[in-house]
């Protein structure tokens, strides 16, 4: 089994609605996102997924969030709280659905969102 990881980042503000503390107030993070791909098969070049393709796909997703107030951004503006947990799931689903990821022999196995150097959450498909 091969495991490949790529990292990206974006800056955005949010507030965790109804949180009983400071996180209910507007604040921002320098979010770091790590995508983990796994697979047993390699392509004709001997790659699970080209690092360049994986990084570009992740960057395209993250660019949609960069410098936004996440609470105004779908689906957070429809009642989904913009927690790190929900952000990890949403980024995972969007990245897994990208054509360049779907056609590779790699499977998106996990998506980790760091909201600070000491706090992260990982979402996996199962």
CB-based burial label for 61 (10 Å; 0-12, 13-18, 19+): buried
Fold of 2-124: Tetrahydropterin Synthase; Chain A (3.30.479)
pLDDT number for residue 11: 98
Per the rule left: phi > 0, alpha: psi between -120 and 50, beta: everything else, 117 is alpha
CB 84 within 8 A of CB 119: yes
Q: pTM (2 decimals)?
A: 0.95
Report the alpha-carbon distance of residue 123 to residue 91 in Å, rounded.
Answer: 9
What is the Cα–Cα distance from 11 to 54, expressed in whole angstroms? 20
**pLDDT 10s per residue in the chain (126 long)?**
999 999 999 999 999 999 999 999 999 999 999 999 999 999 899 999 999 999 999 999 999 999 999 999 899 999 999 999 999 999 999 999 999 999 898 999 999 999 999 999 999 987
Segments making up each domain of the chain, as ranges: 2-124
What distance in Å separates the CA atoms of residue 59 and residue 53, rounded to the nearest whole number? 10
């Amino acid at each position: 089994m091969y495991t490949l990881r790529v990292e990206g980042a974006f800056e955005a503000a949010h507030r965790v609605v109804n949180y009983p503390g400071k996180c209910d107030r507007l604040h921002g993070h320098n979010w770091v996102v790590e995508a983990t791909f796994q697979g047993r098969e390699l392509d004709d070049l001997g790659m699970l997924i080209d690092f360049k393709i994986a990084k570009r796909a992740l960057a395209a997703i993250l660019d949609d969030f960069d410098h936004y107030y996440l609470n105004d951004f779908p689906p957070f503006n429809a009642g989904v709280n913009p927690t790190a947990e929900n952000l990890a799931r949403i980024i995972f689903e969007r990245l897994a659905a990208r054509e360049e990821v779907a056609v590779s022999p790699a499977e998106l196995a996990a998506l980790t969102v760091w909201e600070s150097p000491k706090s992260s959450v990982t979402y996996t498909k199962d």
